[in-house]
Amino acid sequence: MTTPLVIKLGGRVLTDAAALNALFSTVHKLAALRPLVLVHGGGDQVQDLLQRLGEVSTKTAGQRVTPAGHMPIVAGVLAGDVNSQLCAVAQQHGLKSVGLTLQAGETLICAVDTSRGAVGIPTPNSSKLLQLLIDSDYLPILSSIGVSADGQRLNVNADLAAAAVAQVLHADLILLTDVAGILDRDGLLIDSINATQAPQLISDGVVRDGMVVKLNAALQAAQHSRRSIAVAGWQDANALTRLAKGEAAGTRIRY
């Protein structure tokens, strides 16, 4: 059986209709190569709506602080607006999309990161629903909304969510970003990073802000699956196709 591929979508591509259509043309081609699952964030859209509503939103260490009072807004944007938009675009490209949240089928379970409010720390749990869908040629598209054991809705960092989904499916993982991959101080692509190199790159400030979360999520998935994980730019269709075929592109995160 072909190993599934989990792709995390985020960044500017979610706010650019032309770029999103171009990306889904590539996704359609990748779906012919292997089973796909998409996981998405939508931080820019959340930030925009919070600001328009007069709410203050902050981040610590590249992750959003989410007061419980913000969750109706966050869930509405991610599980509602962004997820339904992605499902609609996927359908336009001939893909049988199914919009889900992380708790659907108990795919992931979440602890509460009390230091950041209503924020979830995801853990892989059950592959049953996702496997059922991909076996029937559906494209699951998961928003990064989880639920705690006591039923509290939680905002989950989409990179961490995608890593946990990849773990539950024993899948390969591509974390898409606005740049070609993880860059060095001179803005040049770093081809490969392993668990030994990563802490030094972070402490030196070469990898910082949201890219730290992305790198740590990739390392977590790589160490669990014993596969290399890719961080790559969404703009390069050829790079995504090479990655789907197991070839080199972007930054490879190795266990």
What domains are defined for the chain?
7-254 (3.40.1160.10)
Is pTM, for the whole model, over 0.85?
yes
Encoding tokens for residue 220? 């977590």
Residue 186 phi/psi, 5° resolution? -95, 5
Annotated catalytic residue, options 10, 11, 41, 250: 11
> Annotated catalytic, 151?
no
> Annotated catalytic, 128?
no
Query: Cβ–Cβ contacts within 10 Å for residue 164, how many?
Result: 29
Encoding tokens for residue 29? 């081609």
Residue 1 confidence class, pLDDT cut points 50, 70, 90:
low
Q: In this model, does residue 17 exceed pLDDT 80?
A: yes
Q: In this model, does residue 255 exceed pLDDT 80?
A: no
Annotated catalytic residue, options 99, 113, 159, 250: 159
pLDDT tens for each residue of 144-177 = 999 999 999 999 999 999 999 999 999 999 999 8
Q: In this model, does residue 98 exceed pLDDT 70?
A: yes
State mean pLDDT over 201-207: 88
Annotated catalytic residue, options 10, 99, 146, 214: 214
pLDDT tens for each residue of 184-196 = 888 899 999 988 8
Q: Helix (H, G, I), strand (E, B), or coil: what is residue 74?
A: helix
> Annotated catalytic, 8?
yes
Residue 19 confidence class, pLDDT cut points 50, 70, 90:
very high
Label the pairing between strands 63-64 and 59-60.
antiparallel
Q: Looking at beta carbons, which pairs linking 23-29 to residues 24 or more positions away fall under 8 Å?
A: 23/234, 23/237, 24/89, 24/90, 24/92, 24/93, 24/95, 25/93, 25/237, 26/237, 26/240, 26/241, 27/90, 27/93, 27/95, 27/139, 28/93, 28/94, 28/95, 29/241
> Annotated catalytic, 11?
yes
The reply, when asked if residue 64 is annotated as ligand binding, is yes
Annotated catalytic residue, options 10, 41, 43, 146: 43
Q: 60-69, 78-87, 111-120, 158-167: which range is least confident on average?
A: 60-69
Per-residue model confidence (pLDDT) at position 195: 85
Q: Is the C-alpha dihedral spanning 238, 243, 248, 254 positive or negative? A: positive
Q: What share of the chain is helix, strand, coil (3-state, %, to 5)?
A: 45, 25, 30
Nearest to 120 by CA among 109, 133, 111, 128: 111
The reply, when asked if residue 146 is annotated as ligand binding, is no
> Annotated catalytic, 59?
no
